Homo-oligomer: A and B are copies of this chain.
Amino acid sequence: MNRRILLMSSSRKDTLGYLEHAGQQLHALLRNEPRKVVFVPFAGVTFSFDTYEGMVKPVFERLGYALESIHHADDPLRAIEQADAIAVGGGNTFALLDRLYRAGLVDAIRAKVAEGTPYVGWSAGCNVACPTIRTTNDMPIVQPPSLSAMGLVPFQINPHFVSGKPVGYNGESREERLAEFLHINAPEQVLALPEGTALHVTGERATVLGERPALVFESDGSTRSLPEGTTFDLDQVRGPAAGANGPAFAR
């Protein structure tokens, strides 16, 4: 498959501004080619889609790429079909996936990316690129038709990965949450992306970008560290069984 995909943990890294850390990562995907990016703002919940576009558009324009939000399109399906590139922003993953299904865009984006159209997603936009949204950190504020998502990559990613837990909090740490996922879904694995780190996929190969290593969590409790520049075949991280991303998984 002729995939060109950039999956970023987060829109922010440390105290940098919105997508400020991501310039080189976006260029790695979009290759300084003149591209008109279609932006999907559906993960935004507490602010308007106009506001969201106003945050993202200047970042892409400064890098040399035109961008327009899909909420302006009379025919969103057609906007995806005609896109030079697709960007899906962060926010709430459940709201994003629900709105993607309602707009009929899940299959449309999947087909378009399979044809080779570049896709960039951060945070929630990274989650929906996985086979399912079962490794999101977000609150399930709405119920999408299914937790199955676009499956642009064949395994689950956990964005905003952070180790440990705040003092005085008896809820689960991220490692404990992932251990629960891995225990109940063995032998699946999960690729965790710390803030600022991204996965750049070209065809069947992926490369880790960003100074903090990505981590592969395995169901036996072990962890593999993938430092910046590590390249691997996509099938080296185990996703859900074939067919799980569809009616069978959705039950």
Residues of A bordering B, CB below 8 Å: 10-14, 45-46, 91-92, 95, 123, 132-143, 145-147, 160, 162, 166, 168-172, 176-181, 183-185, 195, 249-251
Contact = CB atoms under 8 A, between A and B. Distances in A.
A167 to B, nearest CB: 9
A95 B45 contact: no
Nearest to A140: B134
Contacts of A143: 132, 134, 146-147, 249-251
A58 to B, nearest CB: 19
A166 B166 contact: yes
A166 B170 contact: no
A166 to B, nearest CB: 5
Contacts of A250: 143
Given A147-B143, A183-B45, A138 B170 contact: no
Contacts of A172: 138
Nearest to A183: B46
B181 A170 contact: no
A95 B180 contact: yes
A251 B171 CA distance: 30
Contacts of A139: 134-137, 177-178, 180-181
A119 to B, nearest CB: 22
Contact of A92 (B137, B166, B170, B180): B180
A140 B140 contact: yes
Contacts of A170: 10-13, 160, 195
Q: Which of A95, A143, A179 has the most CB of B within 10 A?
A: A143
A134 B142 contact: yes
B135 A180 contact: no
B168 A160 contact: no
Contacts of A92: 180, 184
Given A92-B180, A162-B171, 6 more contacts: A45-B180, A95-B180, A132-B143, A134-B141, A160-B170, A162-B166
Q: Which of A136, A143, A166, A180 has the most CB of B within 10 A?
A: A180
B180 A46 contact: yes
Contacts of A145: 251
Nearest to A143: B147
